[in-house]
A and B are shown apart, each in its own frame.
Chain A
Amino acid sequence: MKEKTERTDESVLRNDLRIGVYVCHCGKNIGGTVRCHEVAEFANDLPGVILAKDSLYTCSEPGQEQIKADIREHKLNRVVVASCTPRLHEPTFRAACEAAGLNPYLLEMANIREHCSWVHLHDKDAATEKAKDLVGMAVNRAARLVPQVEVTVPVTRKALVIGGGVAGIQAALDMADAGYKVCLVERTGSIGGRMAQIDKTFPTMDCSICILAPKMSEVGRHPNIELLTLSEVKEVQGHIGNFKIKVLTKARYVTKECTSCGDCIQACPQLAPDEFNAGLSIRRAIYIPFAQAVPSTFLIDMNRCLNNQGIVACDRCFQACAHKCIDFADTDRTIELEVGTIVVATGVDVFDPTALTELGYGRFPNVITTLEFERLINAGGPSSGELIRPSDRKRPQKVAFLQCIGSRSKRSNPYCSNVCCMNTVKDALLIKEHWPDTEIYVFYIDIRAFGKGFEDLFQRSRREGVVFIRGIPGEIIEDINTGNLTLLGENTLLGSPYRYNMDMVILSVGIMPHKDAHVIQRMLNLSTDTDGFYMEAHPKLRPVDTTTGGVFLAGAAEGPKDIKDSVTQASAAASRANILMSKGEVKIPAITARIDPNKCTACGLCAKVCPYHAIEGSKEQGYYRVIEAACQGCGGCVPECHFGAIDQTHFTEEQIVGQIDHALATDAHNKIIAFACNWCSYAGADFAGVSRMQYPHNVRIIRTMCSARVSPKWIERAFSKGAGAVLVSGCHPADCHYNNANQNTARRVERFWKRMEKLGINKDRLRLAWVSAAEGAQFARVVSEMEEGLRKLTPQKIQEAAEKFKQAVIKKSDAP
């Protein structure tokens, strides 16, 4: 058996291989830890390599030119670049290869920065040895690479924007103005979002709705924008350039002919709390969300209307309506859309401080949130702009703001909500502007006035007499008779306790991802960070892209943002989407699965595990085949085939096995082979590198697109070659970028564990770990734990196990 494998190796390693290896110093990033020259010398002696060089910055113009020149001069037919993560510069070097006439799929990268120099900063020898190993693995894989041609698919010149807040509005307008059709889907009855609720904006103190309303009406009348309110995205199918969307539009019960005269309101007998006014006022069952709403059509809240479930018990609004535009027979509709790009602008929810019982929110009427305050002080709000206390409707003389409520806390949200400091400063100034004799106290931990014009505003508030006290009150006590509030706490700068009596307390509440953000996340296969915000494809260089092609992020759904930042990001997202739509086509990476019809027995197992229904065929037909446009390239079908009939392009069995074999050629017993999926775990390992989290150096990471691509055969091969341990890591269950393909990973690993148990092998040596792209620390921890486990094993034990696996392989190959 062994001979046979080696023979196939030989036949693969063709004589005409001409591999060029480039080892990058990346300044001191790699060069400071790894002896790059030594690595290049090592690479020079590898089979198939005809030249190996090290350079200071391979990604620089001269570095790329060097590669191009060498390809032409030395007739290189494979290029290996040992530098940073392929997630960063693979496109760069692929382009360089292509420019020199080499098929871009003949490039291979060895990640010696994020996975080596940055995580082994203090052990230069080990880092250098690891770098050699990684380069060798890459060379071995490069030798087995084959040229690929990318399929081009058309991009539908229409965009979907999810969420009608200021970010969604801006993105929709930018794309519509560029000449593309846009469909804006908003869940509530009107666009406008949070910005419409706010009274003034910081730091310029502009009237919020005054600057937003013109944009809202522009959306309403723009010929390129189709506005769907009371609508939710229910289903997303397809891929970049060709998404098929199902949108559920709920019944409005009022037709477009509505002139919003408001006659119906007087007639309606049913009352409900007004959501737009944060529950501080009452609306009717038939209502318009707010005066400037777009569309300016009324709607009926069927949960409040007496005519629920088709029984018309009351038709007073219908009688009152002069234009007869009330339609009780209106029904929910499902609308199907075909779009090329999607902008996600689902925005944020406001933190509910009820759970922080010591503050008394919900129990003490005069403790309110900043959002409630915005409505109170707004001229269109429940008190027509008068600042009043909810308990007795009198104007408060002493007002306290409490900062960081629901932010920077392990009891609520651990992150800084970004907007609350400046919002409080603005609110304090607003009170001072209208009622200068009001005493205002701001209780804070840190005031973060980082943006343009912010410090100025902060200073202005101090000049106006707003008192800033460092130290959040521990407790609020209410005087039941007067409704006044006593704040107990410590002034940390004076080092003395305080007791302040206040008429009103405003909690400066933080913001958090929309409670249904995970619904969109699952539908679009997005990642979220540990705080629940959507994750960008790269935090610095692709800040509005997502890992799902054709999907872009705008606004606070990506992270807490003020209005200016939301609008900026929305324009950026629109511009990114416009690039796709203006090109009108996009290249799909050549990583799809392929079935060899000669080997296929038409068992259909592959079709069953395909998350995209991209494999079609039948027993009668005699074989199955992959629909290339639908295949997303997870490779989850490959390990399912018992007959070796399927393989994944560019991630073939022999390419990966080549990597495993090289990694385990020396000192196998002490090594950990880690299979990491491209989207989460490999990115998580990259993140560990970027964060300089140090972990044991004996891990060798092999990238696959999805963890489902990891074949039990590879694990078996690794163990039979004497690997100390094997790690299979992927996205968290339900966060898989390939429609839950990773449930197959779990199933296969569990089966392998059973097998190991049967063979009497310590099953802790195979580990399954879910590591998201944000969990660098988790990756480092898993590797460290495995290393610890590895140290408990004796070489004899490992060798015994390897023999057992070898026997099993031989037995299997002997079977007919």
Chain B
Amino acid sequence: MTMKIWKHFNRADLYECYQCARCTGSCPAMEVVEAFGPRETILKCLNLGHEQVVKDEKLWLCCTCNVCEDRCPQKIPISELLVALRNSAARRGNIPSRLAIAIELLAKTGRSMIVHQLDEMRAHHGLRPLPEMPVEEIRAILKKTGLDEVVEY
């Protein structure tokens, strides 16, 4: 099942881009992985089509900090583009395994991360054990967002 991403993002906005690279220059993800950034994502969407873009796992490096959007001289809603692209990628099953595991954990335990001997560590520091998570409620939310169709749990 794929999602028509241009329904969720106005493709015409991409034509405004003149590749000044202010976005990538401001991108914290660029510091992690070389040569990844919003500029390249936009250019690939325009020149190669978004089918190529959604295959790329680098897409998931965006932390939607919105700085690129703040500094974009053409006011392109870049974060919205990345969210739409990632939604599309997820529906095609192009979701990094570490994220899929986190979602699975969330659905099962109500937490996206398991820390070993957490309660012992907390007790050592004089903290109370963590409260029980409302797992059913979280599952309901996941279902509503459609994540249950993307990740099996």
Contacts and interface: CB of A to CB of B under 8 A. Distances in A.
Interface in A486-500: 488-492, 495-497
A473 B39 CA distance: 13
Interface stretch (B27-35, B89-97, B103-111, B133-141): B27-35
Interface in A387-423: 404, 408-412
A445 B19 contact: yes
Nearest to A410: B75
B35 A495 contact: yes
B21 A492 contact: yes
* Contact count band on B: 20 to 34
A471 B73 contact: no
A489 B21 CA distance: 7
B10 interface: no
Contacts of B80: none
27 contacts: A404-B73, A408-B18, A410-B73, A445-B18, A445-B19, A446-B18, A470-B21, A472-B20, A472-B21, A472-B22, A474-B21, A474-B22, A474-B23, A474-B25, A474-B71, A475-B26, A488-B26, A489-B21, A489-B22, A489-B24, A490-B25, A490-B30, A495-B35, A496-B35, A497-B24, A497-B31, A497-B34
Nearest to B24: A490
A356 to B, nearest CB: 8
B19 A488 contact: no
A565 interface: no
Nearest to A487: B25
B34 A473 contact: no
A488 B26 CA distance: 7
A488 B23 CA distance: 11
B84 to A, nearest CB: 21
B40 interface: yes
Contacts of A488: 25-26
Nearest to A495: B35
Find the residue from A445, A446, A495 having the highest chain B CB count within 10 A: A495
Given A475-B26, A495-B35, A409 B21 contact: no
A96 B141 CA distance: 78
A98 interface: no
Nearest to A356: B71
B21 A471 contact: yes
Nearest to A406: B73
A499 to B, nearest CB: 9
A445 B24 contact: no
Given A410-B75, A496-B35, A490 B21 contact: yes
A358 B21 CA distance: 14
Nearest to A475: B26
A358 B35 CA distance: 21
A471 to B, nearest CB: 4
B75 A489 contact: no
Nearest to B25: A474
Given A404-B20, A474-B22, A497-B24, A411 B73 contact: yes
A409 B72 CA distance: 8
Contacts of B20: 404, 445, 471-472
Given A445-B18, A490-B21, A497 B73 contact: no
Nearest to A497: B30
A337 to B, nearest CB: 44
Contacts of B71: 358, 474
A412 B39 CA distance: 20
Contacts of B26: 358, 474-475, 488
Given A404-B20, A474-B27, 4 more contacts: A410-B73, A474-B22, A474-B25, A490-B25
A411 B74 CA distance: 7
Contact of A489 (B25, B34, B35, B74): B25
Interface of B: 16, 18-27, 30-31, 34-35, 37, 39-40, 67-68, 71, 73-75
Contacts of A489: 21-22, 24-25
A703 to B, nearest CB: 34
Contacts of A410: 16, 73-75
A492 B19 contact: yes
* Contact count band on A: 20 to 34
A717 to B, nearest CB: 41
A495 B21 CA distance: 10
B25 A473 contact: yes
Nearest to A407: B73
A2 to B, nearest CB: 51
B21 A411 contact: no
Contacts of A409: 73-74
Contacts of A408: 18, 73
Given A495-B40, A497-B34, A474 B73 contact: no
A424 to B, nearest CB: 15
A491 B40 CA distance: 11
Given A445-B18, A492-B39, A497-B34, A475 B73 contact: no
Contact of B37 (A412, A470, A475, A490): A490
A218 B67 CA distance: 54
Contacts of B19: 445, 492
Contacts of B22: 472-474, 489
A445 B39 CA distance: 13
Contacts of B21: 470-472, 474, 489-492
Find the residue from B19, B20, B30, B71 having the highest chain A CB count within 10 A: B20
Nearest to B67: A474
Contacts of B31: 497
A235 B98 CA distance: 72
3 interchain residue pairs of minimum CB distance:
A474-B25, A474-B26, A409-B73
B34 A475 contact: no
A495 B33 CA distance: 12
Find the residue from B18, B30, B71, B75 having the highest chain A CB count within 10 A: B71
B35 A497 contact: yes
Contacts of A446: 18
A475 B75 contact: no
Contacts of A473: 22, 25
A492 B17 CA distance: 13
A22 B21 CA distance: 55
Contacts of B18: 408, 445-446
A787 to B, nearest CB: 22
Contacts of A470: 21
A155 B67 CA distance: 59
A409 B22 CA distance: 12
Contacts of A490: 21, 24-25, 30, 35, 37, 39
Nearest to A446: B18
A326 B111 CA distance: 82
A408 B19 CA distance: 12
Nearest to A476: B25
Nearest to B23: A474
Contacts of B25: 471-475, 488-490, 497
A443 to B, nearest CB: 9
Contacts of A412: 73
A496 B34 contact: yes
Interface string A740-784: 000000000000000000000000000000000000000000000
Nearest to A404: B20
Contacts of A475: 25-26
Contacts of B73: 404, 408-412
A788 to B, nearest CB: 20
Interface string A452-482: 0000000000000000001111110000000
B104 to A, nearest CB: 34
A563 to B, nearest CB: 27
Contacts of B24: 471, 474, 489-490, 492, 497
Interface in A141-193: none
B70 to A, nearest CB: 8
Find the residue from A410, A496, A497 having the highest chain B CB count within 10 A: A497
A474 to B, nearest CB: 3
A329 to B, nearest CB: 53
Contacts of A491: 21
A437 to B, nearest CB: 28
